[in-house]
Chains A and B, each alone.
Chain A
């Protein structure tokens, strides 16, 4: 009896083949994204790591091999930490890292300050207006990121829209030098990543139980104070989620400082580019990339933790 049911449960065809290898359909579904990550993230990362441990040389490829066969037909593994060492000792990289942290941090703060009122207003808007308002937030994504950053050149340049308007209004006589300064980078990053701040903030604020505010009012708390004591603390998970969604990509940002920032706007993404393509020092660039990744793992894990908590008890 049991044998019959067991044989009946055995699938035929492709699923049967999978089962023979001890795989269920569910495992397959989960295996696909993992295979993707293995193929396009873990393996490239290992390659980069390998290059980071090699020495630079004038050849193709421009780095020494990790494993070499010597004349005595022995395999020889050559590992050098020289690149990591020079990364730590050379001020350039430390400054670039710190500058990236600073720019990402300030931009995140700008996004939070600008995004919170927007998210709050949408969450408090009439329900029929919420979907179109959110649509407007997402709308810029329909245009290429690169094009939108280029558009800022037109706005911020000395002969750009902003300066012309300000001069026409008589606020300034001389055009302001904004383009190719750190300010332009801040503007660009804040602009580009603002939706990533607004969306998680909105979803937190929208879920906020309105009766909590009524209860606060009922207990003698005026609206502004209820905002500070109830709304603000309860929207912290949204703020953290939004902040990390802005901070993490802003840290490694290359396009915005390259296009809008000046030569002095030092960010780690740009340094990486210069090292790879101008200096052709692949091993050092790889070491910088590995360090950047390790540096970002911390906030990413923090983000995962916050998300897990949010799912636990809202």
Chain B
């Protein structure tokens, strides 16, 4: 996870920070029930024009149901969805200014690639010459120009995925919905396609909403992510915000890996919080504004790559943010190594350290006594 650089958000406009900006897609208190089961639970969400928005969650988190409600295949039990200011409650799927790329691609097997892509344009009664031109453009965009006359079963998985994308894009929808767009591709192809998808989105300027269970995919591609859990939205934010400032234990644990230290708030000041943790056997100093009243039970989340591991004792004042333990497990991944350290309190802590030296020169080994320490800004205080 440490390699995911959320560079896109730094160079892009951030319309959600602008109070005058009108949301392009507005989901208002939407609930969807299937019998007794609540798939989507009172979700409100604003998505802005040109965003690459991800709905991230595990299976059963309601992300796909939310997407299907945007497409019109499911109707909200309660609440409303507005797209470009228009209430979609009574608009059937075939009249929505929305296109979807299906997880299974759903290409029409009896039609050629060209006819598949032209299908949506035929429905709109677009002229023949224009259809031809737009289909050619779409094929060009996804680099499949030579494959127009083939049938879907004559294409590879990656090519089919691109046909599905071209078919959804060719109508120039106001909103493109992508259901696990890279789910059926193998790992190598998936990584390439992530960037390709972002490039295409920037080229066509259409608002994308992507459903994914793959956090790396969401981090790489999205302008913002909504993390979903059991039908509600756990957190909305840029990849950086979600990763660096998780608002709950669920988000912290869902995105990347994290160490949780259980404790109790001692001090809560505008510039810091101080937490006494028995698990870490030290005081934890977090240099973010404290919101929580002293005495409250809390957890401090520290990412494994933010913890320094040394054999000599560090010189942090007052022994804050530091712990001592024994190396129990080492996993060598090439670019980084993962250490699992058992603190003297019995708590297991995970630390990742980049491999600067060769493995043969690795100074830390099994059963070594090591010191762990981290900077005041590394932790996040979580109460739920």
- Contact residues of A with B, CB < 8 Å? 209, 211-212, 214-223, 225, 229-230, 233-234, 313
Are the C-beta atoms of A215 and B106 separated by less than 8 Å?
A: yes
Question: Given that A219-B99, A219-B167 are known contacts, is A234 also in contact with B109, CB under 8 Å in the complex?
Answer: yes
The 8 Å CB contact of A212, one of B72, B73, B108, is: B108
Q: Which of A218, A222, A234 has the most CB of B within 10 A?
A: A218
Residues on A with beta carbons closer than 8 Å to the beta carbon of B72? 217
Residues 115-131 of chain B, each 1 if its beta carbon lies under 8 Å from chain A, else 0: 00001100110000000
Residues on A with beta carbons closer than 8 Å to the beta carbon of B160? none
Are the C-beta atoms of A220 and B102 separated by less than 8 Å?
A: no
Question: Given that A211-B102, A214-B93, A215-B102 are known contacts, is A220 also in contact with B108, CB under 8 Å in the complex?
Answer: no
Are the C-beta atoms of A218 and B94 separated by less than 8 Å?
A: yes
Residues 92-115 of chain B, each 1 if its beta carbon lies under 8 Å from chain A, else 0: 111100111010101111100000
Question: Given that A214-B73, A219-B123, A219-B167 are known contacts, is A230 also in contact with B94, CB under 8 Å in the complex?
Answer: no
Q: Using a Cβ cutoff of 8 Å, how many contacts connect chains A and B?
A: 61
Are the C-beta atoms of A220 and B120 separated by less than 8 Å?
A: yes
CA distance A222 to B122 in the complex (A): 12
Are the C-beta atoms of A221 and B110 separated by less than 8 Å?
A: no
The 8 Å CB contact of A215, one of B108, B153, B171, is: B108
CA distance A216 to B111 in the complex (A): 12
Are the C-beta atoms of B119 and A221 separated by less than 8 Å?
A: yes
29 contacts between A and B (CB under 8 A): A209-B104, A211-B102, A211-B104, A211-B106, A214-B93, A214-B106, A215-B100, A215-B102, A215-B107, A215-B108, A216-B108, A216-B119, A217-B93, A217-B94, A218-B94, A218-B99, A218-B100, A219-B167, A219-B171, A220-B94, A220-B95, A220-B123, A221-B119, A221-B123, A222-B92, A222-B94, A223-B94, A229-B119, A313-B153
Residues on B with beta carbons closer than 8 Å to the beta carbon of A220? 94-95, 120, 123-124, 171
Residues on B with beta carbons closer than 8 Å to the beta carbon of A313? 109, 153
- Contact residues of B with A, CB < 8 Å? 71-73, 92-95, 98-100, 102, 104, 106-110, 119-120, 123-124, 153, 167-168, 171
Residues on B with beta carbons closer than 8 Å to the beta carbon of A214? 71, 73, 93, 100, 102, 106
CB A73 to nearest CB in B, in angstroms, measures 68
Knowing that A219-B99, A219-B119 are A-B contacts, what are 20 other residue pairs whose CB atoms are under 8 Å apart, sorted by A's residue number?
A209-B106, A212-B108, A214-B100, A215-B108, A216-B94, A216-B108, A216-B119, A217-B73, A217-B94, A218-B71, A218-B100, A218-B168, A220-B94, A220-B95, A220-B123, A221-B119, A222-B94, A223-B94, A229-B119, A230-B108
Residues on A with beta carbons closer than 8 Å to the beta carbon of B100? 214-215, 218
CB B210 to nearest CB in A, in angstroms, measures 16
CA distance A219 to B119 in the complex (A): 7
CA distance A214 to B164 in the complex (A): 13
CA distance A223 to B95 in the complex (A): 12
Residues on B with beta carbons closer than 8 Å to the beta carbon of A209? 104, 106
CA distance A60 to B287 in the complex (A): 115
Residues on A with beta carbons closer than 8 Å to the beta carbon of B168? 218
Q: Which of B93, B107, B171 has the most CB of A within 10 A?
A: B93
CA distance A225 to B100 in the complex (A): 19
Residues on B with beta carbons closer than 8 Å to the beta carbon of A216? 94, 108, 119
Are the C-beta atoms of B124 and A234 separated by less than 8 Å?
A: no
Are the C-beta atoms of A217 and B108 separated by less than 8 Å?
A: no
Residues on B with beta carbons closer than 8 Å to the beta carbon of A233? 110
